[in-house]
Amino acid sequence: MAAVTALPVDRHVLAESPRWDAATGTMSWVDIEAGRLIVARPQPDAQVDILRTLDFDEPVGCAFRLGDARFLLALGRRLGFVTAVGDVTTSRDLLPDHQRFNDGVIDPAGRLIVGSTAVDPAGPHEGNVLLRLEHDGEITTLDTGLGISNGLAFAPDGKTLYSVDSAAGVIYARDYDYETGTVGERREFVRIDEEGVEPDGLAVDADGAVWVALWGGSAVRRYSADGSVDREVSIGVPHVTALAFIGSTLQHALVTTASRDLDDAALREHPDAGKVFVVDLDVTGQYGYRWRPGPLPQ
């Protein structure tokens, strides 16, 4: 059985976008609805040093550490950079007023792919998009008509892009040519039709298996490349939001969770809801790709 440990950090409303930066040995995540970015370094015995906490006046959908200690952010309806001391530079608005950016991923060529969702968690969940920031600062629309664009991850060879539509309960797969930028039509990889359970964040391990965080499902689940369920690891809180492989061996996962939508009784029953967890695994993950520097859309 995988060991699951809650880290001694504050409860979050909607923790997401866990990342590992091998160059600095640090990890990061965001609290979307609190508008917060947290940077930390893991320590022995399930301890953690919080190195930086940066607060913003709008939701932070995802964040990626750059080589110069800045972060690339999806901030509300814009993309932007934040420095180590909190100075922010942003693009123009890229989404309509009722949408905001959600989860993202860096592709093998160093481009940001990021999806959208409704500003109001109650919806309506329709008309959302999947966008790509090109090296010249232009925006390419990869997909439209999504409900809640959520987790994104690449197969080990970089030629398949997996993406979640939480509202549809589906993990999609697309052929992806990172050299030309050509993206194939989405096809259903896995459909999750369990009552009260939605797929959320994604990660793909070195074997090509797809891990998904289960909102309402209290777990992370591993699907083999053929779409069959391989295993499930209980996290012990209702809303599991995302995961990322961390550490020198990439055999641990940083798992984020949420306390949103839980009443007082549920929070008493699940006091670790909204915490971040470390899970010891017997599989090896993949390193994330680095963003290739370029301009923001103006």
Residues with a known catalytic role: 200
* 36 marked as binding residue: no
* 100 marked as binding residue: yes
Let me know: does 232 contact 222? Beta carbons within 8 Å. yes
* Calpha distance 206→222 (Å, rounded): 12
DSSP string, 213-274: EEETTTEEEEE-TTS-EEEEEE-SSSEEEEEEEESTTS-EEEEEEE-TT--HHHHHH-TTTT
DSSP string, 12-49: -SBEEEEEEETTTTEEEEEETTTTEEEEEEEETTTEEE
* Calpha distance 37→60 (Å, rounded): 8
Instruction: Give one word for 265, left, alpha or beta, with left for phi > 0 and alpha for psi -120 to 50.
Output: alpha
* 120 marked as binding residue: yes
As separate numbers, helices (DSSP H) first and strands (DSSP E) second, the chain gives: 1, 25
* 128 marked as binding residue: no
* Calpha distance 139→153 (Å, rounded): 19
Binding site per annotation, positions for a divalent metal cation: 16, 150, 200
Q: Could you list the residues known to form a binding site for substrate, using ranges.
A: 100, 102, 120
* Residue ranges at the known binding site: 16, 100, 102, 120, 150, 200
